Amino acid sequence: MNTTLEQAIGQSQHRSLLSRIMSYQVFWVFLAALIACVTLSLVTDTFATERNLFNVTRNFAFVAIIAIGMTTVIASGGIDLSVGASVVLSAVVVGMVMAAGYPFWLAAAAAIGAVLLVGFVNGILIAYVGMPPFVVTLGMLSFARSIALVLSNNKMIYEFGPDQDLLLWIGGGSTFGIPHPLIVMVILAFVMGFVFKWTAWGQHVFAIGGNENAAILTGIPVPMVKVSVYMFSAFTAGITGILMAGWLGGVTTNLGTAMELTVIAAAVIGGANLAGGEGSAFGAVIGALLIEVIRNSLILLGISTFWQGAFIGSFIVLAVAFDRIQKLRGQE
Amino acid sequence: MAERLRLTGIGKHFGAIRALHAVSLSIEEGQVLGLMGDNGAGKSTLVKIIAGNFRPSEGEIHLDGEMRDFHHPRDAQNAGIEIVYQDLALCDNLTAASNVFLGRELKRRTGPVRIIDYKTMHRRAGELFAQLKSETRPRDIVRKMSGGQRQAVAIARTLLADAKVVLMDEPTAAISVRQVAEVLELIRRLRDRGITVILISHRMPDVFAVSDRIAVLRRGELVADKATIDSSPEEVTGLITGAIESA
């Protein structure tokens, strides 16, 4: 033994870059999505068209944006089932305020305010009252969607007042050929990737998910962090609601129905651990991408879209199985 | 050696139940006190009083000659009293360095935002592990660590806080023999740095291996407080069970 203690402490793990990358679930999901894309480009002449790629990227951006919020919640050891309801609430509020003749920015602020309130109530009930996240957000799913129905009286909103063109441009337009939802998603992914790693808030979110008791004992303001996490996930749903209203050019009250399940699937496929403490913004994006590529490929290959659920379900189970194998290996 | 912690006439009542009665103890700096007693003897109540979780019903706590009245664990921490919990209270999903600095992350300013200074945190954590002579790498995830390394991480937290008194609750329960030796070595390192250690343990050999003094609680009363070399495992067992009245 020639190595001193200092050298041993200073060492990093003896693993090559390749083996480190291969231990990440996100890498394999990314590989699966990449292989699917390449195969589709070769097999069909419709996949690699500008039009189709534009659609794919825009469609998956909606799920990915919320999946980033969901990953934050899951990383803190919680779950948010109310995101789909927040999407429709946000869309209805933005639509109704604009239809009443108010400018877009005011309507967007009102919509974001409404969903932040949803997240705040979720967070308070979970963090301060101590109720289980599953129950609280399930109740909120029902409540918020009901409020959206009451507000709109279940009528479709398709006239958005003086700023209508601006709304349609923000949700459905593109800049430099890149659809706006995709731009929002990329910015959000980079910001949150940075926040998770480099801020105390990010560290605390993952610490709470890892061992909430330890987080409390070390003096982290756990309830406050939890409230902020649910508000953030509601915020991502609110942003998506506004973008979807602009993209569709109309708001119906079935918007975002069952979206929470797709979003949770994207987060889990992307490496978020439902037990808490793990997940990444990049993973959420890749998870959402894989789901959309599967959906798109089934359509292009002429396979019944009824198969979509079977594929997504398989990937969820595969992702969790991969996680199990990693854990078992680590215990050796 | 200077006196570090003095307890005088500490008592604690929970309603009609008397958990502690007239406990007086004095511990010097750089001393390891083994605190022993059967379940329900009042060990954890006493520890919680020192750590600020409970306020004593009667009696006084002096730290470095100054009277202290802790209303909250935070108060005790600020005064230099740290607890290493039995379950260690670590986040398995974070690195050793992140655990050492959890809740008190080092930051540096880049442009408009303050970001975590991982470089300095890794270096500082590495220094702390070196002081503890523990082969623990700051960048490693705690989940993959041995019991001894996990103890080192928990203890490094107390070093970082520049603790005067470290309370250790059953640190050697539920770990392997080799790791017990590692933990006892860590306790000696703390002692060598002038830190007062109160070791709460059921394991007689561990207490005799590392402590300078042994205090025994029985039914809320202090029945013994003597130098380890003047005692024996047989005597302590008798004191715990009540076969020996006091020593």
- Give residue-wise pLDDT tens across range A239-291: 999 999 999 888 888 888 888 888 998 998 888 888 888 889 998 999 898 88
**Dist. CA A120–CA A126, nearest whole Å:** 10
State both tokens at A67.
């999946």
B20-29 pLDDT, tens digit per residue, is 888 888 898 8
Which of B93, B113, B133 is facing A278, going by the closest CB pair?
A: B93
Alpha-helical (H) ranges within A82-132 are 83-99, 104-127
Quickly tell me which residue has 């799920």 as its tokens.
Answer: A63
**Dist. CA A319–CA B55, nearest whole Å:** 50
Q: Are B63 and B164 in contact (CB under 8 A)?
A: yes
Whole-number average pLDDT of chain B? 85
- A13 contacts in chain B (CB < 8 Å): 137, 139-140
Tell me if B116 and A198 make a contact (CB, 8 A cut-off). Answer: yes
Q: How confident is the model at residue A17 (pLDDT cuts 50, 70, 90)?
A: low
Which of B130, B133, B139 is facing A12, going by the closest CB pair?
A: B139
Question: What is the least distance, in Å, from the CA of A321 to any CA of chain B?
Answer: 18
**Dist. CA B223–CA B213, nearest whole Å:** 13
In the predicted structure, residue A136 carries a pLDDT above the cut 90 = yes
Question: What is the least distance, in Å, from the CA of A104 to any CA of chain B?
Answer: 29
Tell me if A214 and B105 make a contact (CB, 8 A cut-off). Answer: no
Question: What is the least distance, in Å, from the CA of B61 to any CA of chain A?
Answer: 23
Count the alpha carbons within 13 Å of B164 in the hemisphere toward its beta carbon.
20
Instruction: Note whether B22 contacts A: Cβ–Cβ < 8 A.
Output: no
Question: What is the least distance, in Å, from the CA of B142 to any CA of chain A?
Answer: 11
Count the alpha carbons within 13 Å of B18 in the hemisphere toward its beta carbon.
11
Instruction: Note whether A7 contacts B: Cβ–Cβ < 8 A.
Output: no
In the predicted structure, residue B239 carries a pLDDT above the cut 50 = yes
Q: Which amino acid is at B212?
A: D
User: What pLDDT is attached to residue A79?
Assistant: 94
Which of B89, B98, B140 is facing A217, going by the closest CB pair?
A: B89
Domain ranges of chain A: 54-321
- A330 contacts in chain B (CB < 8 Å): 143-144
B63-73 pLDDT, tens digit per residue, is 888 888 888 77
**What is the CATH code of the structural domain delimited by A54-321?**
1.10.3470
User: What pLDDT is attached to residue A159?
Assistant: 80
Q: Which amino acid is at A269?
A: I
Tell me if B113 and A211 make a contact (CB, 8 A cut-off). Answer: no
Instruction: Note whether B181 contacts A: Cβ–Cβ < 8 A.
Output: no
Domains of chain B, CATH where assigned: 3-80+163-241 (3.40.50.300), 93-158 (no CATH)
**Dist. CA B78–CA A129, nearest whole Å:** 29
pTM above 0.90, yes or no: no
Q: Which residue of A has its CA nearest to B75?
A: A219
Q: Please report the ipTM that was assigned to this predicted complex.
A: 0.79
